Amino acid sequence: MKQVLIRQGQAIVEDVPAPQREPGRILVEVSRSCISIGTEMSGIRSSGTPLWKRALKDPWKVRKALEMAAARGVGHTARVIKGEMEAGSATGYSASGRVVAVGDGVERFLPGDRVACAGAQCAHHAEYISVPENLAVTVPDGLDFGAASTVTLGAIALQGVRRAAPTLGETFVVLGLGILGQLTCQLLKTNGCRVIGLDMQVDRVGKALALGMDLGVEPDDGDAEVRIMQFTGGLGADGVIVTAASANETVLSAAARYCRRKGRTVLVGDVPISLNRADIYRKEIDFFISTSYGPGRYDEQYEEHGLDYPPAYVRWTENRNMQEYLRLLADKRLCVDSLIDRVYPLAEAGAAYAQLGDAAVKPLMIVLAYPEKPVDAQPETRLFNPAVSVTGVDGRVRLALIGAGGFAKGMHLPNIRGLSNDYALRAVVSRSGHNAQAVAKQYEAAYATTDADQALNDPDVDAVLIATRHHLHADLVIRALQAGKHVLVEKPLAMNATELERIEQFFAGRERSPILLTGFNRRFSPHLEPVHDMAKKRLNPFIANYRMNAGHLPSDHWVHGPEGGGRNIGEACHIYDLFTFLADSEVVSVQAKSIIPSTAHFRRDDNFVVTLGFGDGSVASLTYTALGHKDHPKERFEFYCDGIVAELDDYRRTELNGLAGKGIQSAIPDKGQKEELQAFAAAIRGDREWPIPLWQQLQAMRIAFEVEALLKTQSGPAGIDD
C-alpha cells in the first residue's frame, strides 16, 4: 500500500506493507484523510532541523542517547540515531473510510461500516490503517467521507469548548482563526454565545464572519482590547479560547486582558505558557488546558485496550466527542465544506505539503483522496526489496526478525549486521508496515511484512528471532517450531505454566527437532566464562548473590500489564537462568518475599528477594528492586566457592580473588547478546550442542512462575514441584 512519510524535511509517498487484522482493532480502507496544517507542518520542519538543534528542544532524548552511548558506545548510538532519522515517520491523525476487517473482541463495527478514525498513532495518511475500537466512530448516513475525515480536528475544538463551559448569552473571544479556531467559533455559536475572533490573516477573519461569527478583529483594526470592550459594553469577554499556534509569549497575557473579572481562558493551541501574575490576579482569571480530543487521550488502557469510561462519571470521552462532532455536521449545525481549501490525490501528497510550505497565505485545511479499490481487494502485507537476495547463501543462517521495536533495532540488528558471516537477514516482520519497510531497507533484508505467517511459511527462512512484546512469545514459538524453524526468542519464553507446557510437549518424543533458544543472554557474557569454569571445577556447593537495581517503572507501564507479565517473569527470569547455568542442577526449593510499600508509587511485585536451593546443595539469592537510584550500577553479582570469590560489577568489570587469572574489564557493559547470536548460529550449523539445554530453559521459567505465585500470596518456602 501507499503511505505518506515525513523524512528529512519532506513529505514523500512510499510503498509499505499493509497492516494486519488485530484483536480489539478494525482494519480500515481509507477514502479521505485530513492534513492538519499546523501540527503536520511543524513535524515536517522538525524533521528537517539539524540533530543538534532538535536536541536542544528535547533534553529527554539527549539523556536517552547519552545513556545508550554509555551502554553501547558512541559509534553504535550514532548509527541507531541515523537509522531512525533516515527511516522517516508516519504522519496524519484524522481519516475516514470503510471497515474491511474486524479483530477479535470488536463489538461496535462490522466489515462495510463507514467510519471516521482519530489518533496520531494509527489514523495515518495511508491506504489502510489499523485502528483501536475506541478511536473510531460510525459516520452518519448522508455525511460524506471528506467532511468525516476532519473528525479529529472537530473533537479537539469541541473539547476546548467543553473546557470553557459556555452558557447561553455569554461572549467569547477566539484567538487564532485557523481550522481549530473556525470550528470553535461555530461550536460557540451553536451554544448560543456571541463570538469575537482575532487573527493576523484577513481572509480567515472574513471566512469566520461568513460562517456566523459576530465580530472580527484584524491587524489593521486598532487596539483589539478596545474593540472587545466596546462590543461587550465595557465588561470584557466571559472567556477566551486560544486556538493559535505561535511562539509569541504575550498571547496568554492578551487573553487575560480580554476577559472580564472572574472570566476564564482555555488553551487549545500551541503557544508558550507564560503567565503574568498581574494579568490574572486582579481579575481572578481561571486558566484551563484542553487536552486534545478529550478524556481518554494518552490513556493506553482507554485508547489501545478498549477500556471505556462510564458516561455517568465521564460524560464526554474522546470517542463521544468524535461522535457528537459528526452528528453536528450531519445535522448541518456546523459547516466544514467551505473550510477545505483543496482535495489532492494521495499520489500528489508531496506536492500538497510543498504548497503548504511555500504558500504565503496558508490554507485552512487540505484533504487527501484515495483511489477506490475493488470490493474484493486484499491489502498487500509483504513488500520485497529487489536489490537484495539472501536465498542460497553458503553457510549463513537465513533469519527472519519478528518484532522490530526499540530493542531489536538498538541491539539485535546491529549485532546481526556485525555477524554477516553467520547471518543473512531474510525478512523483517513488524505490525507497523512503514517500520518493517524502513528496517528491511536499512539492514538489507529481502522483504518486509506485517504478516508473521509469511515469514514462518517461507522455505528460504531457516530461523526466526522473536522480539515482540512478551505476551506474543509462546504462540509465535509454537508456530515457528511447527513450521520447522529454529527459534531464538527474547525472554520470557512463556507467560504462564500452560504456555510452557505446550512448548515442552512439542519436543516430547522427538528425536530431531528445531533448536529453541530463549534469550537468556547473560550466561553468554565473557564476564561469566571464568565464573562458569569455577562452577564446573568446584568440589563443594556454591553461594551466589545477585543484586538488580532495576529502576522504577510507573504502574501503568506495559511491562506491568498483560503484555509484559511483570518484572519477575519478564526480567528476573534472566537471573534464574544464570543460577541454573552455574549450578547445572535441579532446583529443589524456592523462597520469595516482597516488601509491602507504604505508598502506591512502588509495587510489591518489583521489590523482592528470592532464595533458591539446588539439588547439589548450592544456594543462590536475588535481590530485585525498583527502590534504588538510577545512577547506581544496575547489576552486581558475587559468587563464593572453594575459597574463591568472583565479583561482577554491571558487566563492565569482573574481579577474581583466590585465582591466579586476571579479571575482565569492558569499556561498555557486555551482557552477551552478540555471543548468544554466535552460539545460536553455531548450533544451527551443527558445530555445537543446543546453546541452552531445554530443561534449563524450562526450569528458569518455572522458577519465575513459582516466585510469582509466592509474591501474590506472600507465603513461605515452597518447592518448585509442590
User: Containing domain of residue 431, as a range?
Assistant: 382-515
pLDDT at 73: 66
Whether 211 and 166 share a structural domain? yes
CATH code of 466's domain: 3.40.50.720
Question: pLDDT per residue over 121-148, tens digit each?
Answer: 999 999 999 999 999 999 999 999 999 9
Whether 109 and 91 share a structural domain? yes
Residue 719 domain-assigned (yes or no): no
The residue from 494, 515, 536 where one domain ends is: 515
At 320, phi and psi to the nearest 5?
-70, -30
Q: What is the largest CA-CA distance in the chain?
A: 96
pLDDT at 462: 97
3-state DSSP: the chain helix, strand, coil percent, rounded to 5? 35, 25, 40
This prediction has a pTM of: 0.89
Question: pLDDT per residue over 436-475, tens digit each?
Answer: 999 999 999 999 999 999 999 999 999 999 999 999 999 9
CA angle 596, 600, 606 (to 5 degrees): 55
Q: Which of 373, 702, 366, 356 is nearest to 518 (CA)?
A: 702
Residue 686 domain-assigned (yes or no): yes
Q: Give the count of domains, the chain.
A: 4
Whether 282 and 351 share a structural domain? no
- Omega before 492 within 30 of 0, i.e. cis: yes
CATH code of 136's domain: 3.90.180.10
Question: pLDDT per residue over 143-173, tens digit each?
Answer: 999 999 999 999 999 999 999 999 999 999 9
Question: pLDDT per residue over 80-117, tens digit each?
Answer: 666 665 668 999 999 999 999 999 999 999 999 999 99
pLDDT at 218: 86
Whether 10 and 120 share a structural domain? yes
Question: 366: which residues sit within 8 A by CB, 6+ positions away?
Answer: 34, 35, 37, 340, 341, 342, 343, 344, 352, 356
Taking the C-alpha atoms of residue 472 and residue 487, their distance in angstroms, rounded to an integer, is: 14
pLDDT at 78 over 70: no
Whether 110 and 51 share a structural domain? yes
Whether 264 and 394 share a structural domain? no
Question: In the numeric block, which cell numbers belong to residue 424?
Answer: 543473512
Extended strands (E) in 171-232: 171-175, 194-198, 215-217
Question: In the numeric block, which cell numbers belong to residue 268?
Answer: 487549545
Whether 40 and 111 share a structural domain? yes
CB-CB contact of 395 with 685 (8 Å): yes
Report the DSSP pairing between strands 397-402 and 463-466. Answer: parallel
Taking the C-alpha atoms of residue 468 and residue 401, their distance in angstroms, rounded to an integer, is: 9
Query: Which residue do the cell numbers 459594553 mark?
Result: 233
Question: pLDDT per residue over 450-460, tens digit each?
Answer: 999 999 999 99
Whether 554 and 480 share a structural domain? no
Whether 582 and 685 share a structural domain? yes
- Please give the average per-residue pLDDT across 510-537, as a whole number: 95
Taking the C-alpha atoms of residue 525 and residue 503, their distance in angstroms, rounded to an integer, is: 26
CA distances from 65 to 7, 61, 454, 553 (A): 20, 6, 34, 19
Residue 720 domain-assigned (yes or no): no
Residue 67 domain-assigned (yes or no): yes
State the amino acid at position 280 in one-letter form: I
pLDDT at 49: 54
Residue 84 domain-assigned (yes or no): yes
Residue 548's SS3 state is: strand
Question: 23: which residues sit within 8 A by CB, 6+ positions away?
Answer: 103, 104, 105
Mean pLDDT for the chain overall: 91
The residue from 498, 515, 532 where one domain ends is: 515
Buried b (16+ CB within 10 A) or exposed e, 381-391: bbbeeeebebe
- Kindly indicate the confidence band of residue 277, based on its pLDDT and cuts at 50, 70 and 90: confident
Question: 513: which residues sit within 8 A by CB, 6+ positions away?
Answer: 481, 506, 507
Whether 392 and 482 share a structural domain? yes
State the amino acid at position 679 in one-letter form: A
State the amino acid at position 14 in one-letter form: E
Residue 295 domain-assigned (yes or no): no
Question: In the numeric block, which cell numbers belong to residue 291?
Answer: 487536552
Whether 174 and 272 share a structural domain? yes
Q: Which of 421, 651, 657, 686 is nearest to 529 (CA)?
A: 651
CB-CB contact of 689 with 696 (8 Å): no
Query: Which residue do the cell numbers 511543524 mark?
Result: 42
Residue 721 domain-assigned (yes or no): no
Whether 248 and 217 share a structural domain? yes
Taking the C-alpha atoms of residue 114 and residue 272, their distance in angstroms, rounded to an integer, is: 39
DSSP character for 572? Answer: I
CATH code of 528's domain: 3.30.360.10
- Please give the average per-residue pLDDT across 365-392, as a whole number: 87
Residue 718 domain-assigned (yes or no): no
The residue from 318, 343, 369 where one domain ends is: 369
